[in-house]
Amino acid sequence: MRQLAVLVLLVAPALASAQASREVSAVGAPAPVVYDVDAAPAYYVTERGVALREAPHENARTLATLRTRDGVRVLAEDGAPADGFAHGWRLVQWGETRGYVRAGTLSNVWIRVDKSERMTYVYRGAELLREFPADVSVSPEDKVRRSGQEELEHYRIPEGTFFVTRLNPNSSYYRAFVLSYPGPAHALRGVRDGIITQAQYEAIARADREGLEPPMNTALGGLIEIHGHGSGRQRAWTRGCVALRNVHMDELWAYVEVGTPVVIEP
């Protein structure tokens, strides 16, 4: 899965800037930080159809078109225009291709939810930025299928690696980030166990490949969110979602974009 590969990049030890080479100019001012590919900070693309260009301007030849959640390495930071930083551009490596993308189309923020701790953690690369107490579902088990409307103990938070498909500023629960459940792993288990059809599995897998919101009308369920109206007291009451205090959702709102990876652990 592409989002899992991106997440591995984000938390890799190669994020350490000690491996970067920094030169000092004759007047003593620091020159741009230029990274080797293996040591370069990892980011992911936050928009659809981002042009990877041969030079840092809009008229430059397009080398490739990147999709939401594609992972790249940023090769130059804090540099002059030729180094891909100034004027809102970044010099990046995407697979074997090196080129320039607009800085505003990249992020390295990701979220980790620990169900047993009832905590939500926000990272920028390997750096922990914030942590929030979370309300969770009554059942601690992994989600397998759609829950019954009246059986609160059957509602479960799915486990695995997901991404934010949509930001809802007008949620019934204040604000919400819709997650990409069901993902390919849950769909594969579902088709294997006879819960969904092969066609439904293929539709879910295709949505994941294309960075789109998956079908949520199958027997696997859907509409799993991180949303507001949480108590801040780490209670168990939700219908399969993660609930934070509204003030914490306001903080998180500033960090999260479509494509932000979310890891949910048991």
Out of 154, 186, 229, 241, pick the active-site residue: 241
| pLDDT, tens digit (0-9, with 9 covering 90-100), for 90-109 | 999 999 999 999 999 999 99
- As a whole number of angstroms, the distance between CA 146 and CA 112 comes to 23
Domain with CATH 2.30.30.40 in the chain: 2-107
Least confident of 39-53, 147-161, 234-248: 147-161
Query: Taking all residues of the chain, what is their mean pLDDT, rounded to a whole number?
Result: 84
Single-letter residue type at 143: K
Out of 186, 227, 229, 248, pick the active-site residue: 227
Give the pLDDT confidence score for residue 39 in this predicted structure: 79
Give residue 145's Cα distance to chain centre. 24
| Reported pTM | 0.81
Task: Confirm whether 87 is a catalytic residue.
Answer: no
Domain 2-107 has CATH 2.30.30.40: yes
Q: In angstroms, how far apart are the furthest CA atoms of the chain?
A: 72
Q: Where does 48-195 have alpha helices with state H?
A: 184-192
Task: Confirm whether 248 is a catalytic residue.
Answer: no
Peptide bond into 182 cis (omega under 30): yes
User: Which residues face 167 on adjacent strands?
Assistant: 177
Domain with CATH 2.40.440.10 in the chain: 110-181+221-265
Q: What is the end-to-end Cα distance of the chain in Å, rounded?
A: 20
The CATH homologous superfamily of the domain defined by 110-181+221-265:
L,D-transpeptidase catalytic domain-like (2.40.440.10)
Q: Is 74 within 8 Å of 44 (Cβ atoms)?
A: no
